[in-house]
Structure 1
Amino acid sequence: MNIYVANISFKASDDELKELFEQHGEVTSAKIIMDKLTNRSRGFGFVEMADSASAKQAISELNGYNFQGKELVVNEARPKTDAPRGGGGYGNSGRSGGYGGGDRGGYNKKW
């Protein structure tokens, strides 16, 4: 089962997060998400546990747990969706139209 963990201390490491959850069962992976530009923790991560019963126990016991000075927010991770992030609205459909595209506007025509 995949577990979402928020409010992680910026000083915490993947290994420390894994050790915390291993007290409740077998952890197959633990990953704190890092900012691509600054390479600094974004304060949340994911823990994958092999057994769903152990995972549910870990969620129950670690939600609100004080870990390195911060109260963790722990719950079952929601499945990733294919929905586009943010915005939407007019002109963000990914289709040609509006500005340019094809030979609209006469840019590609020979006069």
Structure 2
Amino acid sequence: MNLYVSNLMSHITAEDLKKLFLPFGYVASTKVITDKFTGVSRGFGFVVMPQQEEADKAMRELEGKNVDGRNISVAEARERTDRRSY
């Protein structure tokens, strides 16, 4: 399952996300989205946890959890839609 994690502090890294989610099960990958020009975090990222039960538990337990002064939000990621208009 692909999880969307938002309201992250700008200094949170992909490794930090992995450490946050590892207690709930296997983490296949993590990614923090950064601004393509400045390289600064945009405050959200993605965590891939292949086991549905582990991902569900992580979502329940981490939703609203205070991480470095901010209450993060964790939800199942939605498919990306094409935002370009022609």
Unmatched 5+ residue regions in structure 1?
A: 93-111
Which one has the bigger strand percentage? 2
Q: How many residues align?
A: 86
Partner of 1:18: 18
TM-score (normalised: structure 2): 0.94
Partner of 1:73: 73
Which stretches of structure 1, 4 residues or more, deviate above 2 A after TM superposition? Answer: none
Partner of 1:63: 63
Q: Distance in 1 between matches of 2:11 and 2:39?
A: 12
Q: Distance in 2 between matches of 1:70 and 1:11?
A: 12
- The structure whose Rg is larger is 1
Residues 41-77 of structure 1 show CA distances to partners (whole Å, capped at 9, x for unaligned) of 0000000002011001100110100011110010000
Unmatched 5+ residue regions in structure 2?
A: none
Partner of 1:103: none
Which one has the bigger helix percentage? 2
* Percentage identity across paired residues of the two chains: 44
Higher RCO by CA contacts (8 Å cutoff, separation 6 or greater): 2
